[in-house]
Amino acid sequence: MNEALQQISGRIRELREILEITPERIAEYLKIPVENYQEFEEGKIDIPISVLYEISSFLGVDMTVLLTGDSPRMNTHTVVRRDDGVNVERFAGYNYSALAYNFIDRIMEPLLVKLSPSDAEPTPVTHLGQEFNYVLSGVVKIHIGKHDYILNQGDSIYFDPKLPHSQKAVDSAATFLTVICEPKNPAK
pLDDT computed for residue 183 by the predictor: 72
Contacts of 101 (CB under 8 A, 6+ apart): 63, 64, 67, 68, 72, 80, 85, 86
The ranges of the chain annotated as CATH 2.60.120.10 are 86-181
State the DSSP string of 113-124.
EEE---SSPPPP
At 184 the pLDDT is 66
Which pLDDT score, from 0 to 100, does residue 188 have? 45
- Confidence (pLDDT) at 187: 46
pLDDT attached to residue 89: 60
How far apart are alpha carbons 91 and 28 in whole angstroms? 23
Supply the pLDDT for residue 179.
Answer: 95
CATH 1.10.260.40 residue window(s) in the chain: 3-68
For every one of its 188 residues, what pLDDT tens digit does the chain have, with 9 covering 90 and above? 477 778 889 999 999 999 999 999 999 999 999 999 999 999 888 887 778 888 998 998 988 888 888 888 888 999 988 888 887 765 556 788 889 989 998 889 899 999 988 767 888 888 888 999 999 999 999 999 999 999 999 999 999 999 999 999 999 999 999 999 977 655 44
Spatial separation of the C-alpha atoms in residues 169 and 150, rounded to whole Å: 10
In CATH, the number for domain 3-68 is: 1.10.260.40
Topology of 86-181 in CATH?
Jelly Rolls (2.60.120)
